[in-house]
Structures are given as C-alpha cells and as structure tokens.
A and B are shown apart, each in its own frame.
Chain A
C-alpha cells in the first residue's frame, strides 16, 4: 500500500467527517428552521465526501477495510483532520467563522485537486468542489450578516474570529504528506493555496468589518504527528460508541 496516498486520503476524509459530525449537533436547535435545513445539507455533503474518500482509502488498504472501519475503529492519534474542524460549535458565530475559514481553504484545495495526477482523486474532487463552493458562499454571506448586523452580532463574530484564528493555519501548513502529494502532482502547493486563501479571507473580513487578529500559537507538530485538541476524543467516544460497545456486528 502507498502509505502516503493513504494518509493523504485520510486527511481529506477526516476533515469532512469530523466537520460533518459537528454540524449534526446543530440539528433541531439552529437559530431558525431554514438555517437548520441548510446546516443539514452541508453536513450531508460532508458525510458523503468523507464516505467517498474512505472508499478509496479502504480499497488501498485492502483486507477487511471499509469506510466504516476507517471511520469507527481508529483512535484519535490516527485521525488526520485539522484541529479547526474539531472545535466545538459554540454559538452560531463560532460555527460560521470556523466554517468560512475552513471552507475557503477547502474550496481552494478541491479546485486544485480536480487537476490531481490521481484520476480517482480528481473525480471525487470534481463532484465535491461544487458542494464546497456552495458551503463557502453560504458561510461567507452569513459572515457578512453577522459582521454587519447588530452590535451584538458584530462582537460575537469578532470574538469567534479571535478565538479560532490560531487554528486557521494548520491546514495551510504543509506536513510531510502534503510535501509528498505536491511532488507527486497529486495535491497542490499549500504555499500557493495559502496566499489565495489569505487574499479571499482578507476581502471577506474587510467586507464584514472584522479585524483579522495576529496569529498567536501555531502547533507546527499538529499535522505531522497527528496531535489533536482534547475535543476529538469526546467526538470519537460518541461517534464510535456502538461499534466499540458491540464489536463486529452489522448495523
């Protein structure tokens, strides 16, 4: 098995799954019924994308591997998602700011992946990029509404941005697998993605009258060594409960 490719697929799949799992938590309790449905749509897109990345990963891995064994039978240190997506939903501003930062990155990444030298990755990305394009736009529009809405919403949006900004850069900081992917023509040069990402976000935040904070602590080991926040353990404990409590069953 090409372990670099496998790890690269996990990065893609894990980001989608963990963010999708977080969005599931909004179900039934969003600020308005219409928003509830929108967040579910985004969640469904992400879960579907995770499933596709894991299908490819499971084929590479061979044996008894399935998307479900990959999702439900790995521990936190084997997960390859960025810390940003595992942060708690917080209030609606926290969720939207987390989303606009991640989706902007994710869109640029998937646009590049449509040109991947790996045709399977290219095909999955081609489908996903349309979905992610919508997510990015939806969250951008809400960023503008919260930033430019009331005094209270502006403050909440600014606080959300301040709180999560440190987590924003992990996705854009290349780890060993990203270097491999770039060399192999499978994935983009994250330095290039980063400059476009910064330009897009600067424009969005400017339009939303939000101040971009100075980057503080960036955990450079996070991506290369699979270091997560404390939140991921709880996410997995909940998500994997049935598979762990009653092993080897069909559901």
Chain B
C-alpha cells in the first residue's frame, strides 16, 4: 500500500495578499487535495483561496548553488535607496 501523493498547500488569507505556503498533506487527487486543505489548513478562518500543487512538481534550487545564485545580489548596494544621500531639504523621494 502506497501513501496518497503529497501536496503543498498555499492559502490566501484575504484578497489583496499573496498565497502563502501553509504546509502539506496527502490526497489521492486534486479535488481531494483542495478539500483536505480546506479541512486541515482553514479550520480557523485562515483563508479565502487555496492552491494545491503536487510536491513532486515543485522545482527547487539546489542549496549547494546558494553562493552562486544569491551572493552576487548582496553586493549591489546601489539598488537600495539608502545608498543615496539626500540633502535634508529634499524629502519624500
């Protein structure tokens, strides 16, 4: 006997916000995954929209590539507003 496939659940707590990863669960099919997500992850009125995706369908970056992928962005300090000094007289930019 095999477990039902694992699904990742994303819940949007209210309109205007992103769907956010809530956790995972097992379900045999997509409809069941939605219903299980409703029963498992919205018992306390946590959401108004649910996404489910099979865990095996998620492609993730390799942690070993972390430096290569993400270090480069750390040095680009000129992308951040705090890099630029404004005279006190000029506000709200």
Contacts and interface: CB of A to CB of B under 8 A. Distances in A.
Given A34-B27, A41-B43, A138 B4 contact: no
Interface stretch (B14-22, B30-38, B46-54, B67-75): B30-38
A32 B32 contact: no
Given A34-B40, A141-B35, 12 more contacts: A32-B26, A33-B26, A34-B26, A34-B39, A37-B36, A37-B39, A38-B35, A38-B39, A41-B39, A134-B38, A141-B31, A141-B32
A38 B34 CA distance: 12
B46 to A, nearest CB: 14
A34 B34 CA distance: 11
**What band does the interface of chain A fall in when counting residues whose beta carbon is under 8 Å from B?**
10 to 19
Interface string A14-39: 00000000000000000011100110
A145 B28 CA distance: 10
A38 B42 CA distance: 11
Nearest to A37: B39
**What band does the interface of chain B fall in when counting residues whose beta carbon is under 8 Å from A?**
10 to 19
A interface majority secondary structure? helix
Interface in A101-139: 134, 138
Contacts of A145: 28-29, 32
A37 B25 CA distance: 12
Given A141-B32, A145-B28, A32 B39 contact: no
Nearest to A141: B31
5 contacts: A33-B26, A34-B40, A37-B40, A38-B39, A134-B38
Contacts of B36: 34, 37-38
Contacts of A141: 31-32, 35
B31 to A, nearest CB: 6
B43 A34 contact: no
8 interchain residue pairs of minimum CB distance: A34-B36, A38-B39, A37-B39, A41-B39, A37-B40, A34-B25, A141-B31, A138-B35
Interface in A22-61: 32-34, 37-38, 41
Contacts of A37: 36, 39-40, 43
Contacts of B26: 32-34
Nearest to A36: B39
A141 B31 CA distance: 8
| Residue from B25, B26, B39 with most neighbouring chain A CB atoms (10 Å) | B39
B36 to A, nearest CB: 4
